[in-house]
Amino acid sequence: MDRAERSTFVFSVGLLGVFFIAVVYASMGRGIEVPTCIVDREPFARDTLFERQPGLYELHMIARMWEFRPGEIRIPAGSEVDIYLTSLDVIHGFMIENETESKAHMARPLGVALAVPRYTGHNVNLMAVPGAITYARARFEQPGTYKIVCHEYCGDNHHFMNATIIVE
């Protein structure tokens, strides 16, 4: 290795190291987690939504060809929701978007809109897989309609499969 090569090598390792530390910080320091392995929950085949503690809801969400149950969820602003999700048939996808923000973004000047979307997601992006339960916690501060689109191909009518969360 000559000098230029050696310094590039060190720089590359360093750069990737910094990226990885940032990733660890985002997940552990800022609590943005990815779904994990769940072994201590009873399997469920029916959907429910109930208030477990004041302001903390528990949602059992079912995905099946080609609907989510419940298809519409109403909760008060400021609630936190523990989402448990499974599928009764094939694999489905589940991502909570933030409609209010994305509409607002289209009203901005084109140059700004091109550069960056105003993105305040809920960090909820899950796969619903038969035979497994998945989990995420989301906080809903702003009133509005939050859309959920099935984002994994699940058969002929996949593009009809969606749900909404209405925060009042």
Query: Looking only at residues 25 through 44 of this chain, which bind other proteins when binding is defined by CB under 8 A?
Result: 26-27, 32-39, 43
Residue 56 binds: one of other proteins, Cu ion, none (C-beta under 5 to 8 A by kind) = none
Indicate if the alpha-carbon torsion angle 59, 86, 98, 145 is positive or negative. Answer: negative
User: Per-residue contact track with other proteins, 5 to 24, x per CB under 8 A?
Assistant: x--xx--xx-xxx-xx-xxx
Q: Do 109 and 127 meet the contact criterion of CB atoms below 8 Å apart?
A: no
> What span, in angstroms and rounded, lies between the C-alpha atoms of 134 and 92?
12
Question: 36-49 burial, b for 16+ CB within 10 Å, e for fewer?
Answer: eeeeeeeeeeebee
Q: Give the interface segment with other proteins, choosing from 47-55, 75-83, 117-125, 137-145 (CB under 8 A).
A: 117-125
* Structure token pair of residue 11: 């720089």
Rg (CA), the chain: 20
Give the tokens for residue 111: 């140059």
- The yes or no reply on residue 73 touching other proteins (CB under 8 A) is no
- Of positions 76, 78, 117, 143, contacts other proteins by CB under 8 A: 117
Residue 87, strand partner residues: 63, 130
Q: Which does 103 bind (CB under 5 to 8 A by kind): other proteins, Cu ion, none?
A: other proteins
Binding at 12: pick from Cu ion, other proteins, none (beta carbon under 5-8 Å per type)? other proteins
Instruction: Answer yes or no whether residue 154 interacts with other proteins by CB under 8 A.
Output: yes
Question: No. of H helices and E strands in the chain?
Answer: 3, 10
Closest to other proteins by CB, 80 vs 101, is: 101
Q: Smallest distance from the beta carbon of 156 to other proteins, in angstroms?
A: 5
Judged by beta carbon, residue 44 or residue 79, the one nearer other proteins is 44
Interface ranges with Cu ion (CB under 5 A): 92, 150, 154, 158, 161
